[in-house]
Amino acid sequence: MKIVGVLVVLVGWLLPVVGLTITQSTSVRFVLALLGIAVTLFGIMGVLNKAHLKNAIWKA
Amino acid sequence: MTSRMRMTICCLWVAICLMLLCGFPAFGQAQAASSTTTQAAPPPAKPAPAMDAPLDVKAAQPPSTDDLTAKGDPGGTATGTVSDVVAADSKKGLTLADVVNQAGQNRIAINFVWTLVTGFLVMFMQAGFAIVETGLCRAKNANHTMMMNFMVYGFGLFAFWVCGFAIQMGGGGPYSTLGGAYPLTSEHVVTLLGKPWGLFGTHGFFLSGASYDVGVMVLFLFQMVFMDTALTIVTGSCAERWKYVAFAVSSVFMGAITYPLFGNWAWGGGWLSQLGNNFALGHGYCDFAGSGVVHAVGGVTALALSMIIGPRIGKYNRNGTPNAMPGHDLLVVLTGCFILAFGWFGFNPGSTLAASGNGALRIGSIAVNTMLAGCTGSFGAILYMWIRYGKPDASMTGNGLLAGLVAITAPSGFVSTVGSAIIGLIAGVLVCVSVEYVERVLKVDDPVGAISVHGTNGLWGVISVGLFADGTSNYGGSWNGVSGSVRGLFYGDASQLVAQLIGVGTLIGVIFTISYVAGWIMDVIIGQRVSAADELEGLDIPEMGALCYPEFALQMQRGVPSGGVAAD
């Protein structure tokens, strides 16, 4: 799950960066940037952090 | 015609002739004068003085040395005159070239002194961070926490000197405010998707070779203390359970690789700074003094490592509810916050790298913005805590001050005072909400609130440039190679906000990932966390070999409970 989380985080970053080259529209770039940030945050908080919490010290 | 009339006509003719004879030249001169004003005919060219011709020093009326010897200069009006301009050739005397060179050197000297002194202020922030973090930790870990803050300076400095500085700034020059620093002009660029992407600098390793340059040295000192600020953020969030050896390796890695990479992309001529030139996104990613480069880099690294290391024993109950683990000394916490606020006057105004030329006189505005955002940040936090919990919490008020300062760091050079007050106020509330979210929802243990203060508010600071930059700043007529002043969404440039959001995405996407993967590898190889027995005992003896407060231990041995150790 940790590797999946890292991949999701990177995909979130790539979204707006690749979007830079496929469109000139500021609005589309803006939406892609927000979408990328949302995907990255999901990767960090929803996937990676959950993977760490599975074996959290306080659950033992 | 009568003789009388003839006489009158003759007199008139004579008068007209006399008027013509005497008055025409004057009339002609008047005409010439009027034509000069209307047509602006150039005056006769005056030969420019030769640069190497001796100047008439007496015309500048230098003070008499006899007078100065006898009376001194109590008013300060006779000190610093033409007598103090040094002639390159004393036999020839003072020349225009001497005066012009002196003027240029004076400008660069002012900028050197300004940058160095503000850098010294930033260095002193290490003391502030050290006591804030130590005060927010328990007494049994005080030596360990203090020693992490103490040695992060040395580990970081060494790594930055070896390669960090070259990676960050090796391709960003020339820096006109520091006399050029010309050796720093080699950036490694790759072409992807049809555009150039600057990735890292390649000059300045060990500050050797051509980098042995006065301008480079000034820039190195200033950038080094910034880098150390980022490193010390992590020591707070990982405090009370981080192995000292893991901390040491992690700090060297961050000072050598993680921080310099983002620093290059934002400040060293890298791809983020070129978003304006390459993709028409405003002025590219703009981060005046480092909400993103310094604070968010430290904050996201702190988040990555805190997730890997896990929470302290006793922080969470079996059902996941958090327990409060108060620090041992609020006095030093709030004193540390004041030291940090003081140091921030070096952080933000110093980031002009100049006090003379290139619009650098905006330093006054930058200092006021810094002060205001800190003020409204503490307002926001104290009001939030007072309303929500019924008391004005001291440590969160201190964090509110710091959050306001963190948030204004990126926009400080681009926004008005009203903008900075709003940015600070939002930061003050945001830090409280973020601390609650990190602790209760994410269940990531952050003893000092570093992830929220520096991470969350660092990102907010980056975004706020894209909203509040008012288009009045003018640092040499351009920023990141794009002419004109930086404007945010509220002042008519939506594309600047997009550039800032891509910077945010890079911080949480790339910098987080690098920190996480490196921390993970280190966890596998050397282990990040101390043993449970050491953690329960307190890290002062197991990790450092000495207690910070030995008297507390004596009291414990005699069976007298004490505030620090006994409470734990």
Tell me whether A54 touches chain B (CB under 8 Å): no
**pLDDT over 80 at B303, yes or no:** yes
Calculate how close chain B gets to A4, using CA atoms only, in Å: 12
Calculate how close chain B gets to A10, using CA atoms only, in Å: 6
**pLDDT over 60 at B47, yes or no:** yes
Closest CA to B465 of B449, B481, B480: B480
**pLDDT over 90 at B294, yes or no:** yes
Take residue B526 and report the two structure tokens written for it: 């050397």
Rounded Cα distance, B91 and B10, in Å? 74
Number of cross-chain residue pairs from A and B with Cβ atoms under 8 Å apart = 95
Domain of residue A24 covers: 2-52
Minimum Cα–Cα distance from B506: chain A residue = A13
Calculate how close chain B gets to A21, using CA atoms only, in Å: 7
Closest CA to B108 of B179, B160, B41, B167: B179
Closest CA to B168 of B77, B85, B260, B243: B260
Q: What is the full DSSP assignment across B286-313?
A: --SS-IIIIIIHHHHHHHHHHHHH-PPT
Strand partners, B191: B196
A13/B510 touch (CB, cutoff 8 Å), yes or no:
yes
pLDDT of residue B14: 54
Q: How many domains does chain A have?
A: 1
**Cβ(B397)–Cβ(B377) below 8 Å:** no
Tell me whether A60 touches chain B (CB under 8 Å): no
**pLDDT over 70 at B519, yes or no:** yes
pLDDT of residue B100: 92
Q: For the segment B522-566, what is each residue's pLDDT rounded down to a tens digit?
A: 999 999 999 999 999 999 999 999 999 988 765 655 554 444 333
Rounded Cα distance, A30 and A26, in Å? 6
The band of B3, judged by pLDDT with boundaries at 50, 70 and 90, is: low
Residue A58 inside a domain? The answer is: no
Other CB atoms within 10 Å distance of the CB of residue B555: 17
**pLDDT over 60 at B17, yes or no:** no
Rounded Cα distance, B406 and B428, in Å? 10
**pLDDT over 90 at B428, yes or no:** yes
Q: For the segment B266-285, what is each residue's pLDDT rounded down to a tens digit?
A: 999 999 999 999 999 999 99
B87 vs B496, residue with greater confidence: B496
The band of B26, judged by pLDDT with boundaries at 50, 70 and 90, is: very low
Burial of B13 (0-12, 13-18, 19+ CB in 10 A): exposed
B505/A12 touch (CB, cutoff 8 Å), yes or no:
yes
A56 vs B157, residue with greater confidence: B157
Rounded Cα distance, B547 and B541, in Å? 6
B310/A52 touch (CB, cutoff 8 Å), yes or no:
yes
ipTM for the predicted complex: 0.97
**Cβ(B398)–Cβ(B373) below 8 Å:** no
Average per-residue pLDDT for chain B:
89
**pLDDT over 80 at B76, yes or no:** yes
Q: What is the mean pLDDT of residues B396-410?
A: 97
Q: What is the mean pLDDT of residues B369-376?
A: 97
**pLDDT over 50 at B448, yes or no:** yes
Which of B47-51, B428-432, B470-474 has the highest average model confidence (pLDDT)? Answer: B428-432
Q: What residues of A are in contact with residue B524 (Cβ under 8 Å)?
A: none
- Give the residue from B501, B507, B531, B536 with the most A CB atoms within 10 Å of its CB, the best one to mutate: B501
B55-58, long-range: CB within 8 Å, 24+ apart, which pairs? Answer: B55/B93, B55/B94, B55/B95, B55/B96, B55/B99, B57/B82, B57/B83, B57/B93, B57/B94
Residue A57 inside a domain? The answer is: no
**pLDDT over 50 at A1, yes or no:** yes
Strand partners, B192: B195
Cα B298 to chain centroid distance, Å, stands at 15
Q: For the segment B332-348, what is each residue's pLDDT rounded down to a tens digit?
A: 999 999 999 999 999 99
pLDDT of residue B25: 43
Q: What residues of B are in contact with residue A58 (Cβ under 8 Å)?
A: 311, 315-318, 320
H-only helix segments in B390-493 = 394-409, 417-436, 450, 457-468
Closest CA to A37 of B279, B521, B300, B281: B300
**pLDDT over 70 at B13, yes or no:** no
Q: What residues of B are in contact with residue A9 (Cβ under 8 Å)?
A: 508-509, 512-513
Give the one of A37, A49, A58 whose C-beta lies nearest to B442's C-beta: A49
Calculate how close chain B gets to A56, using CA atoms only, in Å: 7
Rounded Cα distance, B437 and B458, in Å? 16
The dihedrals phi and psi of B271, each to the nearest 5 degrees, come to -65, -35
B193/A18 touch (CB, cutoff 8 Å), yes or no:
yes
Domains identified in chain B and CATH numbers: 104-544 (1.10.3430.10)
Q: For the segment B110-119, what is each residue's pLDDT rounded down to a tens digit?
A: 999 999 999 9
Calculate how close chain B gets to A57, using CA atoms only, in Å: 7
Percent of chain B with pLDDT over 70: 89
What is the three-state SS of B423-453? Answer: HHHHHHHHHHHHHHHHHHHHCCCCCCCHHHH
Q: For the segment B140-195, what is each residue's pLDDT rounded down to a tens digit?
A: 999 999 999 999 999 999 999 999 999 999 998 888 899 988 899 899 999 988 89
Residue A47 inside a domain? The answer is: yes
**Cβ(B129)–Cβ(B378) below 8 Å:** no
